[in-house]
Amino acid sequence: MKEISQALRELEKIPNKKLLIFRGEGKGFCYGASVEEHLPERVREMLPKFNNFIAKILSCEIPTLARVSGLCLGGGFELALACNFIFAEKSAKLGVPEIQLGVFPPVACILAPLRGGDSISSQVILTGGNFLAPYLFDRGIVTTVAEDGELDSVCDKFVVKSILPKSASSLRIANRAARMVTIAKYEEFIGKLEALYLKDLMSTKDAVLGITSFLAKKTPQWTNA
């Protein structure tokens, strides 16, 4: 997160930059934070830093695009949700599996409804399932779906046709305008969701049980408390 944040600051200083593309190295996009980082003694440090990191992506003046192949899960999916565009391969799977561990994804609770509405965001957040890119495209979460193996070509064509002909300075100002409501909503609710997670959720037995059971490779026996 520190490295990406630093890169954003440096790239914003270059006046002719018109688009930033996030891509995963290897077959997948990003699997999110490690489960160990969700333990009570670590999550109080990790979660605020991650929420601030997402705020930096949202406020980046240069438009952003997430190029998604393979798995895009948890914090990785939340990073993609923070981008202006999500381009994904047909076989890509996206989701926030946190509820399976007894917790929830604060960032997705804000950004998923803003992108796709309450119905799909509730399905994604409350089931914790992995959803194919075409399914999320039909519901407004994913911007564009490409056939497997053709994602780079589709991204390149989009950049050449829709981004490069534009003025870099105008794109940045238009992006600030386009993201104003999203940023305002994020700033309004992220602190409340962070408190809900760290104070209310982490005081329950099941939130801790879900994490420790996963690490122990056991099925959690929920106490419902």
Strand, coil or helix: 112: helix
Tally of domains within the chain = 1
- Give a yes or no: residue 117 inside a domain: yes
pLDDT digits over 128-163, tens only? 999 999 999 999 999 999 999 999 999 999 999 999
Rounded CA separation 76/163 (Å): 24
The pTM score is 0.96
- Give a yes or no: residue 72 inside a domain: yes
Please state, as a whole number, how many other Cβ atoms lie within 10 Å of the Cβ of residue 182: 18
- Give a yes or no: residue 161 inside a domain: yes
Structural domain containing residue 9: 2-215
- Give a yes or no: residue 225 inside a domain: no
Res. 26: pLDDT tops 90: no
Looking up tokens 């992108």 gives 115
- Give a yes or no: residue 224 inside a domain: no
pLDDT digits over 80-118, tens only? 999 999 999 999 999 999 999 999 999 999 999 999 999
Tokens of 73: 């899960």
- CATH number for the domain spanning 156: value is 3.90.226.10
